[in-house]
A and B are shown apart, each in its own frame.
Chain A
């Protein structure tokens, strides 16, 4: 069965500091991996996704993530945090044979201090 673990339910960084949000997955076949962001009182919005090909994927708002098969990880990074990055972030996984059903991690709330 697939699963996703996000390490750290709350992460706090200073403005301008590196953002690192961790995601580990389990999957019996090659996974499709997604990062979504949820701003307060809004729905989820796709940040980036990995399906096949290049393992380093770039998304919106300066975020990127690297698929590491050997580590079963898909960590999200941003070199320099901005106040507007404060939100909740969700990692999700699916497989080609799962009909698009996403399995989500529990979420990580990112706070950005001035």
Chain B
């Protein structure tokens, strides 16, 4: 089984809808991250969390919110989806240090119509 899983893998929604993307990990890592990938822009950090009580904004947090329900679960919400949030979203985990490898989930492809 995969160490980092994301659900759903694909989602099409309409403008104004609330949507939640979920990430679960079995690696036992403290740190978790949400990125979005856009063609030609690479990956950009949305939010990150070092533990359940430590959540931080990343480079592009506007329009997004997160919840760290447990060490293993980190959810990303779009309160009112808009078309320019159409992207590929990745969750990643990291053990504890900046030099540690980040392990990525398979991604969620979100389309906002």
Q: How large is the interface on A (under 10, 10 to 19, 20 to 34, 35 or more residues)?
A: 20 to 34
In whole angstroms, what is the CA distance A32 to B98 when docked? 8
Instruction: Provide the A5-23 mask, 1 if CB < 8 A to any CB of B, else 0.
Output: 0000100000000000000
Q: What is the interface of chain A mostly: helix, strand, loop, or mixed?
A: loop
| Stretch from B11-19, B64-72, B75-83, B100-108 that touches the partner | B100-108
Assuming the contacts A44-B90, A98-B98, A100-B100, asked whether A90 and B42 have C-beta atoms less than 8 A apart, the reply is: yes
Asked whether, in the complex, the Cβ of B42 is within 8 Å of the Cβ of A107, the reply is: yes
Tell me how far the C-beta of A59 lies from the nearest C-beta in chain B, rounded to whole angstroms. Answer: 11
**Contact partner, B97, options A41, A44, A100, A106, Cβ 8 Å:** A100
- In Å, the complex CA distance between A109 and B58 comes to 26
| Chain A, residue nearest B106 (CB) | A43
| B21 in the interface (beta carbon within 8 A) | no
Q: Are B56 and A99 within 8 A (Cβ)?
A: yes
Do B42 and A104 touch across chains, with their CB atoms under 8 A apart? yes
Does A102 interact with chain B (Cβ within 8 Å)? yes
Residues of A within 8 A of B56 (CB): 99
Closest chain-A Cβ to B32's Cβ sits at a distance in Å of 10
Q: Is B24 an interface residue (CB 8 A)?
A: no
A residues with a Cβ closer than 8 A to B are 4, 9, 32, 36, 41-46, 49, 51, 90, 92, 94-96, 98-102, 104-107
